[in-house]
């Protein structure tokens, strides 16, 4: 693999409000669609592998950015927030003062939202990285903030919890690659508008 382009999906109503959005399948807002269209200039040359999360917000972002031929990969789903699905950090901290996802994790939820640890997210991220590294050429991923932060940490050989160091906003792009055969960040959380 020469380079991996990461696109975080555009804004949703929940991302705008700061609500943890794991497996809840929400559409993009109008602004989120604008963010996705703004990513199109990054798609000038073809990619040898394009993987997209099953979530409609990721699929729509891919399509509006010009990545119309892609494979849906369930390993790209967002972190499963369990019992914190749809809840803001401020609300969680009302009952768990000082709570921080990367340190404290999530509580179990219902059958659709059982929850995941950072290490469980990393297992999925490692599978995606292995697929990408097997490709001769360019790779693009369209997914979610916390998942892509874990993936980048794993790319760099770091613990999944080190993704906490890599803020990632909606509608941004990042690039992973190599320097002297060692994995590096080429660009991170870069806006296009």
Active-site residues: which are they?
A: 9, 78
If you compute the radius of gyration of the chain from its CA atoms, what whole number of angstroms results? 16
Torsion of CA 15, 20, 23, 29, to 10 degrees: -10
d(CA 151, CA 158): 10
Other Cβ atoms less than 10 A from the Cβ of 64: the count is 20
How does DSSP assign 113-131, residue by residue?
Answer: -----HHHHHHHHHHHHHH
**Which of 30, 145, 22 is closest to 82 using CA atoms?**
22
């Amino acid at each position: 693999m020469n380079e991996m382009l990461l696109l975080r999906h555009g804004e949703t109503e929940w991302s705008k409000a700061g609500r943890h959005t794991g497996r809840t399948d929400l559409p993009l807002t109008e602004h989120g669609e604008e963010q996705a269209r703004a990513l199109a200039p990054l798609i000038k040359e073809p990619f040898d592998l394009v993987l997209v999360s099953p979530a409609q917000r990721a699929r729509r972002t891919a399509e509006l950015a010009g990545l119309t031929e892609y494979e849906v990969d369930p390993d790209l789903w967002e972190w499963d927030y369990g019992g914190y699905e749809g809840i803001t950090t401020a609300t969680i901290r009302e009952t768990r003062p000082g709570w921080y996802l990367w340190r404290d994790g999530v509580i179990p939820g219902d059958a659709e939202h059982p929850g995941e640890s950072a290490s469980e997210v990393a297992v999925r991220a490692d599978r995606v990285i292995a697929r990408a590294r097997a490709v001769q050429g360019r790779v693009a991923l369209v997914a979610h903030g916390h998942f892509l932060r874990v993936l980048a940490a794993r790319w760099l050989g770091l613990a999944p919890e080190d993704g906490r160091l890599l803020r990632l906003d909606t509608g941004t792009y990042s690039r992973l690659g190599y320097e002297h055969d060692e994995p590096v960040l080429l660009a991170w959380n870069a806006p296009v508008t």
